[in-house]
Amino acid sequence: MKKIEYLNHLKTNLQGLPNEEINDILSDYEEHFQIGISKGKTEEEISHELGDPKEIAAGYKLNLKSNQPSDESTTTTTNDNTKRFLVALLLIIVNVMVLSAPVMALLGILVGLFGMGIGFAFGGLGLLLRLPFVLIGNSPHILTSLGLGFGLGALGLLVLILGAVIVKHLIILIKKYVKWNIELVNR
């Protein structure tokens, strides 16, 4: 098959592809012919080496179709994004409406616990700082002040430690809950 005949068959079989793509392909095959002729080959030998124009065109068409995104995958991605958005919105509503009251109550309890711990600790310190004045006044309540001062101070520190442990475990629980929410949205 001669060069012009070969390129015309190729062009005919490439119909359906974008014109720019067809022109690029034809240009590449003209170059193959020029290189082959410069090496001393005949147009028939070159066309035989290049192969059937119909098969070449089918390969280009198949390649172009496989590179184009399908409408189905786009629709699936859109549906997944919509589903994620709706699940996230529902979780926000549930978290705000259902969990806000218990979280606020727990926060109030923790503030009260820390306040109580600080109060006990400073109360014990106050009783211990009162000791010099008790000694001057010759009061029989020195041991009572000393015992209550150390006792209240120690109780205050224990309550503060308990509050810190509760906060630590509460933070771990909140992290797990947030992670579960994220996993639920990404399903």
Structural domain spans, the chain: 3-67, 77-186
Write down the pLDDT at residue 76: 59
Token pair recorded at residue 100:
């806000």
Write down the pLDDT at residue 17: 87
Q: What is the largest CA-CA distance in the chain?
A: 129
Closest CA to 146 of 159, 157, 135: 135
CA 36/CA 30 separation, integer angstroms? 10
pTM: 0.51
CA 17/CA 173 separation, integer angstroms? 58
Write down the pLDDT at residue 83: 86
Write down the pLDDT at residue 138: 65
| Three-class DSSP category at 59 | helix
Write down the pLDDT at residue 59: 86
| Three-class DSSP category at 17 | strand
CA 163/CA 110 separation, integer angstroms? 7
- Sites in the chain below the pLDDT cut of 70: 65-78, 134, 137-140
Report yes or no: 114 and 151 within 8 Å, Cβ to Cβ. Answer: no
CA 135/CA 151 separation, integer angstroms? 20
SS (H, E, C) 104-172: HHHHHHHHHHHHHHHHHHHHHHHHHHCHHHHHHCCCCCHHHHHHHHHHHHHHHHHHHHHHHHHHHHHHH
Write down the pLDDT at residue 16: 85
| Three-class DSSP category at 15 | strand
Q: Which residues of 41-58 are buried (b: 16+ CB within 10 A; e: fewer)?
A: eebeebbeebeebeebbe
